Structure 1
């Protein structure tokens, strides 16, 4: 009975403590964004090529990639201009075409700054708080690809905010790319509805489950276009997303950093052929989150615990919950080796 009470107390604490990047502010319930973006009905009705276009929800990324190989550059561009939100989010479509489509899609939205010169927006969805994936580096020429999956309070409006740049998703992507000597294309993937602050969303798995579906499809879209399976860097609540996506995602490496748990008992239970790594700095407040999963709350075992079976990443020079990509830190050095395919 005493042990049961301790577990229940731990679960209650988990409900009030698990979060991502924003600290200890009060949370708000979020509805996950799912399905194809606006314009799907018009896309499905389009017969301008004399045939049905691949369904944006049901077609496999490999089939979408094959479709675009059968049409010419002019036809591709016309589809992008006619259906920018759909083409910009089609996993399996050529990256350059998605960039052009998304530059059109963001116009007239609150996120118009995403059309600034030099931006490479690989995905954009204006629904909810906005979702976006921005590429840092040359995705089409890079030999290796890394995807950073963020924790709470990250969306199209906050992923590259100017204050605390190092702690933002964009700052992490920039730091990782630089640490690889610009050899690796790094994608800042704010492609799911994240929790806001502290609350049941952060302690529960609903948002992570929806995000896992989107992440798995996104990675399959990368490999469908000929890219190597990416390395996934999964921060805080983002590691819950990665844990749930692991079985279906195309990934060469999965790195959980500052993780509250991955909804798995061990690395082997993730069901992936990818190598699994974990990093946690002693000063990271996430260590105070109870590693339990009960009645849908909490995210289970600590990936940084040796018993979990993940490869440990040293964290000297990091510090706090968002300092794992700090220049000069041991964690960034190892992350760069993982992203570049050089880690042993």
Structure 2
């Protein structure tokens, strides 16, 4: 009974510490956006060559890929024009079609907060305007890159805020640009320095990076951040997204999972074909050990000396808390050097040990 009491107090403390340390307040519980995108009903009612279109809710990405392989260019283009939100979010569809479909879908919203995403030089791989909006963007040549990295962010990220220039290197798009530059892609240098977005492929580039804000993230830090409800919904979407990359012929990804995003990755790990899984600034991954993630991927962990996440108790009780510290020796992850990382969001800052290590992992050079 005494042990139960201590556990209950510690679990409650986890929520209080997270809220107090971050200095943020939760704006209320978030409703997870799940299921197929808007426009699915019209898609299901349509046909191509008299054939039923693959159901966005039930068709496997490999089935989607086979369907599009059987269409000619004219029919593919017609589906993009008629159903941009579906094609743009249909895992397994050809990458160029998704980019064009999402350009049309973003432009059709008529919303100023999304306007920059419709620029012709951006490769938007997914766009869902429901709720706070979700988006995935490719930096580099995903079709031909030898390696693929996916940034999975944590709290307070959505389609409107994920590319904020006020906090370079800390938002999903900033992290992606910084990582791509660190792997040696010359086309990314201007973007990292604060210049225009660089989306064109660099011949022979080693790594394409995807900024994946593809789930409903917690807002602020409160109960949504302390439980796993949003992470579980996100894990389902992440697993399907990575299956779509595989079906489209992309290389198996490395997942870079920041903060609450590492909870998402922990729950999705056994359902992805990731080669490596990197948890940074993690509150826990809903597993006691790296082996408990049940993945064939190599598991890495990083935490900077001034990251406030260290003050969050690593407990799990009654659905609250995310369990063991991935940087602890007992967890068994490979450690990423992070002694010069500042705060909770400085892991991708240029010149840091962590970014150099991330680049080596992304290129398959780390051991």
Instruction: Tell me the TM-score normalized by structure 2.
Output: 0.91
Query: What is aligned with 1:116?
Result: 119
| 8 Å CA contact retained: 2:22, 2:308 | no
Does residue 47 of structure 2 align to residue 24 of structure 1? no
| 8 Å CA contact retained: 1:15, 1:204 | no
Larger deviation, residues 87-96 vs 161-170: 161-170
Displacement, 1:215? 0.1
Which aligned pairs between 1:317-328 and structure 2 lie closer than 5 A? 317-328=340-351
Larger deviation, residues 286-295 vs 312-321: 312-321
1:172 to 172, 175, 178: 175
Task: Report SS of the residue matched to 1:80.
Answer: helix
Does residue 277 of structure 2 align to residue 259 of structure 1? no
| 8 Å CA contact retained: 1:16, 1:198 | no
Does residue 289 of structure 2 align to residue 290 of structure 1? no
Which aligned pairs between 1:186-201 and structure 2 lie closer than 5 A? 186-201=209-224
Query: What is aligned with 1:104?
Result: 104
Does residue 170 of structure 2 align to residue 152 of structure 1? no
Count residues with an aligned counterpart: 342
| 8 Å CA contact retained: 2:143, 2:249 | no
Over aligned residues, Cα RMSD in angstroms? 1.3
> C-alpha deviations, 1:140-185, integer Å up to 9, x for none?
1211100000000000011001211221111110000000012210
| 8 Å CA contact retained: 1:166, 1:326 | yes
| 8 Å CA contact retained: 2:103, 2:120 | no
Please list every run of 5 or more consecutive structure 2 residues that lacks an aligned counterpart in the other structure: 186-205
Displacement, 1:311? 0.4
Query: What is aligned with 2:301?
Result: 278
Which aligned pairs between 1:126-165 and structure 2 lie closer than 5 A? 126-165=129-168
Query: What is aligned with 2:128?
Result: 125
Which aligned pairs between 1:26-65 and structure 2 lie closer than 5 A? 26-27=25-26, 28-65=28-65
Which aligned pairs between 1:187-266 and structure 2 lie closer than 5 A? 187-266=210-289
Q: Measure, in 1, the Cα distance between the counterparts of 2:181 and 2:321.
A: 35
Task: Report SS of the residue matched to 1:141.
Answer: coil
Displacement, 1:78? 0.7
Task: Report SS of the residue matched to 1:166.
Answer: coil
Displacement, 1:112? 2.6
Q: Measure, in 1, the Cα distance between the counterparts of 2:366 and 2:208.
A: 17
Task: Report SS of the residue matched to 1:332.
Answer: helix
